[in-house]
Amino acid sequence: MHWNRNLALFAAAAITLGMGALKGSSQDSTNEKNWWRNAVFYEIYPRSFADANNDGIGDLKGITAHLDYLKELGVDAIWLTPIYPSPQVDFGYDISDYVAIDPKYGTMADFDRLMTEANKRHIRVLMDMVMNHSSDKHKWFIQSRASKTNPYRDWYVWHDGKGETATDKGKVPNNWASVFGGSAWEWDDKTRQYYYHKFYVQQPDLNWNNPKVHQAFKDIIAFWLKKGVAGFRFDAITTLFEDPAMADEGVVKDKDGNPEIQNGEPVLENIKTDNLPGVHDVMAEMRAHADKFSTNAYPGTRVFIGETYLPNIAELLKQYGTPEKPEFHLPMDTQVLLINKMDASAFRARLEDAEGELGANVPLFVFDNHDNPRIDARYGDGVHDTDIQRVLSTVLFASKGAALFYQGDEIGMKTTPPTRKEDVKDPVGQRFWPTYKGRDGERTPMQWTSAINAGFDSPTAKPWLPVPANNSTINVLAEKSDSKSLYTWYRSLIQLKKTNAAFSEGSDTMLDRNNPSVLSWKRVAPGAPPVIICANFSADPQSVDLVSQGIPEGAITTLLKTPGAADPASLKHVNLGPFGVYIGQLQFMISH
């Protein structure tokens, strides 16, 4: 979207944009179609969100009981990580039945009730769709491993060992490694072949060269769409295909030319088993299938979100597909997630990528999820963590596109890894202890209150992961009534995203591009004066001169600023404290 120069310079007095500006019944069908474009998505890790029956494991009833909380926060849609029946080796990402609910989380009736209650509150529900692999306890794999002639044999990726004989299993077919450590090949004694698993041994990869696998997932997608879900987050989607030539992966070298070692194993290039082109055809096929459900019976666009860890913006762009052959609506921009330091220049580059390189596609930024240490551990300095979280959430909500965040981010939950190996639940943490402690630290229960077990569980229950002691201060109840809390900051940003057209729909133009410490940008949408955002990425006070950046001196109305900060007296001096944020809207139109 570009500012129309012909309309420039028509000076306006203060323009107030009311709540109604984006809503209205005549726009209902457009809203239904476009709901996702500026939407706020909230990731729920059901196991750790709220436990209604006090067995220590969060459940569907727990989620339903907190929908009002999500509504008040301003969430448009929730993505539930897997709730299907599962042996829970990878806490749900090892699925043994794709069209049922794991009894630990509840029943299908509980799910239907969650859908009804979410609908009442205009909150949409997205499911996790794990197509790369199933559990080894799925009936397909049980069949597949039963014999070489079983009709399900070629639903998975089987291969002879190198130099295999009737008595010797030979060597693994090649050097491909599991994301979770060790070889990606597992020997199966009964049928004397290896099967491929990109993740845990209990997660055999499905064979996407088999049309029956395509059809099976189309049926699964249809099942959930008919239940009214608003879309899917596609898990590990870039790993569907492997190099048909089975060539070894190259080994990544460090700066001295030696193999790079991580957790005691060589780091592989990961180009023979990741981001192969076949993924695009599968996603286009699934998208065309799901698009057929956007009918009167199932109103509203069904949205495809992708777990897309990719090396650069050009690869991300491909995941959107083309207008003729669309793939994802919102492949996650994980470039920004992986910056992992408070570096204004790096963020500027990523924002410019999202604005400039994605064409008409909608960016989806994400900073946090259930697989990475939380924001405090990756960006915090132990002193200004809350202010740092204000900076990052500003980038998340005040930049173009949709936004996705993880439960607990809004209250500043801290990464709390286990302190003893025997307490580790995530198998990868046990394997690599103590160099890598696994993902338990970012999966601790949601902190609702300061009570014992944080309102996640009754005080006498035993949560599956311990509640961090900091729930005495970091909790929803305390933060809701504190105007200076991180919760209040998140809520304010989300409200701005819903009520202020320039803030939610504007294009982003970076200002002060050489400033190494402060990220400043302008958001411009037709018919509204620009919104200006300045975020200090440093622990030192900073001052930004917007006038030198071509913004004429004039009135600005503060939309949001770090608690306790003063309003700028002049656009020449927007003063920011350590990791301070200022967001204001000019009270006049400008010509560029």
Residues that bind ligand GLC (CB under 6 A): 90, 93, 130, 199, 235-236, 307, 370-371
**Site for Ca ion contains 461 (CB under 5 A):** no
Burial 163-190 (b: 16+ CB within 10 A, else e): ebeeeebeebbbbbbbbbbebbbbebee
Beta strand spans in 95-148 (E): 124-129
Given ligand GLC, Ca ion, none, residue 51, with its beta carbon under 5 to 8 Å by kind, binds Ca ion
Question: Please, which residue, 105 or 234, has the CB nearer to Ca ion?
Answer: 105
Residue 350, H or E segment: helix 344-356
Quote the tokens at residue 463.
Answer: 């949560």
| Separation of alpha carbons 159 and 389, rounded Å | 47
Question: Please, which residue, 55 or 357, has the CB nearer to Ca ion?
Answer: 55
CB of 42 to Ca ion, least distance (A): 20
Query: Catalytic residue among 94, 186, 205, 235, which?
Result: 235
CB of 105 to Ca ion, least distance (A): 7
| Separation of alpha carbons 385 and 414, rounded Å | 9
Question: Please, which residue, 3 or 156, has the CB nearer to ligand GLC?
Answer: 156
Question: Please, which residue, 283 or 493, has the CB nearer to ligand GLC?
Answer: 283
| Separation of alpha carbons 198 and 186, rounded Å | 11
CB of 155 to ligand GLC, least distance (A): 17
**Site for Ca ion contains 107 (CB under 5 A):** no
| Separation of alpha carbons 476 and 485, rounded Å | 10
Question: Please, which residue, 93 or 141, has the CB nearer to ligand GLC?
Answer: 93
**Site for Ca ion contains 110 (CB under 5 A):** no
* Cβ pair 153, 144 in contact under 8 A: yes
Burial class (CB in 10 A: 0-12, 13-18, 19+), 371: middle
Given Ca ion, ligand GLC, none, residue 57, with its beta carbon under 5 to 8 Å by kind, binds Ca ion
Give the interface size with Ca ion as a residue count (CB under 5 A): 5
**Site for Ca ion contains 315 (CB under 5 A):** no
CB of 93 to ligand GLC, least distance (A): 3
**Site for Ca ion contains 164 (CB under 5 A):** no
- Tell me the β-bridge partners of 82: none
Instruction: Write the CA distances from 280 to 243, 318, 322, 588, integer angstroms.
Output: 15, 8, 10, 45
**Site for Ca ion contains 476 (CB under 5 A):** no
Given Ca ion, ligand GLC, none, residue 76, with its beta carbon under 5 to 8 Å by kind, binds none
| Separation of alpha carbons 183 and 195, rounded Å | 11
Given ligand GLC, Ca ion, none, residue 110, with its beta carbon under 5 to 8 Å by kind, binds none
| Separation of alpha carbons 89 and 427, rounded Å | 8
Quote the tokens at residue 472.
Answer: 């005495």
Nearest to 587 by CA among 168, 12, 174, 4: 12
CB of 337 to ligand GLC, least distance (A): 12
Quote the tokens at residue 361.
Answer: 């596609």
Query: Catalytic residue among 76, 128, 307, 505, which?
Result: 307
One-letter amino acid of 325:
K
Beta strand spans in 158-250 (E): 158-159, 185-188, 193-196, 231-234
Catalytic residue status for 410: no
CB of 69 to ligand GLC, least distance (A): 24
Given ligand GLC, Ca ion, none, residue 53, with its beta carbon under 5 to 8 Å by kind, binds Ca ion
Given ligand GLC, Ca ion, none, residue 371, with its beta carbon under 5 to 8 Å by kind, binds ligand GLC
Given ligand GLC, Ca ion, none, residue 93, with its beta carbon under 5 to 8 Å by kind, binds ligand GLC
Question: Please, which residue, 17 or 78, has the CB nearer to Ca ion?
Answer: 78
Phi then psi dihedrals of residue 224, to 5 deg: -80, -35
* β 531-536/556-561 pair status: unpaired
Question: Please, which residue, 106 or 331, has the CB nearer to Ca ion?
Answer: 106
Catalytic residue status for 97: no
CB of 57 to ligand GLC, least distance (A): 17
Please list every residue from 42 through 61 that binds Ca ion, using CB under 5 A: 51, 53, 55, 57, 59
Contact residues toward Ca ion (CB under 5 A) are 51, 53, 55, 57, 59
Please give the positions annotated as active site.
Answer: 235, 307
